[in-house]
Structure 1
Amino acid sequence: MSIVAELLTKPGVIAAGEYAYRGDRFSYRGNLTESHARMASIMCRATTMSTHMQGEIIAVVIFPQLPSVAWLGDAWLRSHYLRRGECVLFIR
């Protein structure tokens, strides 16, 4: 089972998808129009890039010997390992 299929089985998930780190490709499944899915992938890419930038700033200033990291929710994100991302939209 793919991560997208698994995420779609969770309560409250209306769509799940993947996007390329470069932002030129995306795929999704769920109850979204093509234009809304594209907007969501752009939003997720912008968030990923922002987190990567913040991680680079932290790494340079505080931890110059470590790879780029950033605090994201409840977990550390090693943003230099990201090649593609997953984005999930929830409605409460």
Structure 2
Amino acid sequence: MATLSKLKELMSIPGAVAAGEFADDGRLIAYYGNIDEKSAEVAAMMCAANKLMFNMQAKGWSAYTGQGGFYPVYGFAVAGGKYAACIMGNVGVFVELDKADFDKTFEVLSKYL
């Protein structure tokens, strides 16, 4: 589980605007940053839904092609507009695209798997 200190560490990532933790069912566990609670709750649901969808796609792809190594999904990024959501396990950080360092972002996030 991510503690407040871990979420604050995520906020040190270049371009970070918010960080949080979510349950597999989409429930918000904790958040920190420039985001209100309602938006953080919606973000938690989005992250959980995308994680579930990516795992379904990876498992289906692996079964269809016989190629392993895609499932389970450990992390992913979804980008659009000015921001990206970067997720590892059930912890994520929202970053500004023009300031983001994705290598650094996933290096820090990988601590929380």
Q: Fold-level match, TM-score > 0.5?
A: yes
Tell me if 1:20 matches 2:23: yes
Tell me if the contact between 1:58 and 1:69 (Cα under 8 Å) persists in the aligned partners: no
Q: Distance in 1 between matches of 2:48 and 2:21?
A: 10
Give 1 or 2: higher helix fraction. Answer: 2
> The residue matched to 1:38 in structure 2 has which SS?
helix
> The residue matched to 2:32 in structure 1 has which SS?
strand
Higher relative contact order (CA 8 A, sep 6+): 1
Question: Structure 1-normalised TM-score?
Answer: 0.70
> The residue matched to 1:32 in structure 2 has which SS?
coil
Question: Structure 2-normalised TM-score?
Answer: 0.59
Q: Distance in 1 between matches of 2:10 and 2:68?
A: 35
> The residue matched to 2:92 in structure 1 has which SS?
strand
RMSD: 2.7
Greater radius of gyration (CA): 1
2:71 aligned partner: 68
Tell me if 1:50 matches 2:53: yes
Tell me if the contact between 1:15 and 1:88 (Cα under 8 Å) persists in the aligned partners: yes
Structure 2: unaligned runs, 5 residues or longer: 78-88, 99-113
Aligned residues with identical type, % of pairs: 28
Structure 1 segments of 4+ aligned residues over 6 angstroms from their partners:
64-67
Tell me if 1:86 matches 2:91: yes
How far residue 7 of structure 1 moved from its aligned partner, in angstroms, is: 1.0
